[in-house]
Amino acid sequence: MEALDQPDNFPQVFKKYQGLLSFPEKGLYACICSFVEETYLKSFLKDIVRILLSCGAESVFPVIYVKNSALFVLSSPTLAHQEKIRQSLEELHYPQQCVTFETSFLHGDTSEDLFAQIISKISRYERILLIRPETGETRDFHNNMAAPWRISKLREAFTASPAETDIPSLLDSVFTPSMTPDVAKNIALGLFLNPDNSGQEPPLDIACDFFRRLYSCTQTSEIRKLAEIVLLQEKDEAASSKGGANISLLKSYVEAHLDCETLSLKWLAENYLFVSVGYLSKQFVKEEGIRFSDYLNKKRMEQAIRLMVYYHNDNIKTIARSVGFGNNPQYFSQVFKKYTGYTPTEYIEKVGASAPS
């Protein structure tokens, strides 16, 4: 646990405890067995003891278990032992087991190098079990996923990321399916409070909206989405004004969701950007020079015109639904005539007349 809390200080931590563990300097390797569900972990551990005994391999450290994977450290000088262990593990089967076990091996030039790899492998898991397979004695540890050093590392990774498209994959490596909502909230909170390491506090109204939204989330997936918005805003703010960042994200969302009937500034403020609607409205008028509702209708009419040009034989109801007017073609017609000077029927006839036969 000390090594997990001090990843940059691993060599010193390893040397501190090496004398208590009686590790050989070399000749260790680790076997990782995947798809070991916790429901049959006890049976699996009994079989591990039997397999190692039959292979003449010695376990020198408790089994490490994290999210359906068991890792054990062995002292054995030959690859033949490893292959025998692999075959024996992959032949195991339990009544409630759904998939075949998969095995892989870690090797290091030294024991310190091997354990550095192990620490790196397990560091992204919140719950870590250490188990003595001979006795079943278990220690249940909780890795502090929201530790300040870890949040700092995340910030550095996000800042160094060259593209916005990298952020979702980085977040997927942090917000794992096994993560509890409470831990996810702590991570999102750490990322929000000082996302760019500038020490500058976010505006009070934005902070209040974020806190309200964060603590209303009940699923880790919701919290991950909230963190993604925070980081996208941070990315845009590095290249533009704070207001510009919000408006850029808003416009991108609108372009991708013109067919959404419930799209509104209130919805975007509360569910996508997590700012107050009044704040966002003022930002939008300042940046774009028009109200959001006028901007949205303009974009929808532009899309409707494109659809009429491409598919001028289509039903007006279909086009109205495709640009976010749902089952209200009458309102669509009113807006369309205000924007173009034509009713949809007149415009389609005009387009049809000018189209090549």
User: How high is the pLDDT of residue 48?
Assistant: 92
CA-wise closest residue to 339 among 279, 284, 298: 298
State if pTM tops 0.75: no
Q: What is the DSSP letter of 241?
A: -
| Count of all residues that appear for the chain in the document | 357
pLDDT at position 149: 74
Residue 161 pLDDT greater than 80, yes or no: no
Q: Which amino acid is at 253?
A: Y
Query: How confident is the model over 9-67, as pLDDT tens digits?
Result: 889 999 888 888 877 788 889 999 999 988 889 999 999 999 988 888 888 899 999 98
Write the DSSP string, 165-200. THHHHHHHHHS-TT--HHHHHHHHHHHHHSTTSS-P
**C-alpha span between 229 and 235 (Å, rounded):** 10
- The b/e string for 324-349 (b: 16+ C-beta within 10 A; e otherwise) is bbeeebeebbebbeebbeeebeebbe
Positive or negative torsion for Cα 95, 98, 100, 105? negative
The amino acid at 251: K
pLDDT digit string, tens, across residues 283-311: 899 889 999 999 999 999 999 998 888 77
Give 94-119 pLDDT, tens digit per residue: 887 778 899 999 988 889 999 999 99
CA dihedral 290, 295, 301, 304 (to 10 degrees): 160
Does 85 score more than 80 pLDDT?
A: yes
Rounded to 5°, angle at Cα 98 from 94 and 102 = 85
CA 307 to chain centre: 35
Q: What is the mean pLDDT of residues 143-156?
A: 76
pLDDT higher than 80, residue 69: yes
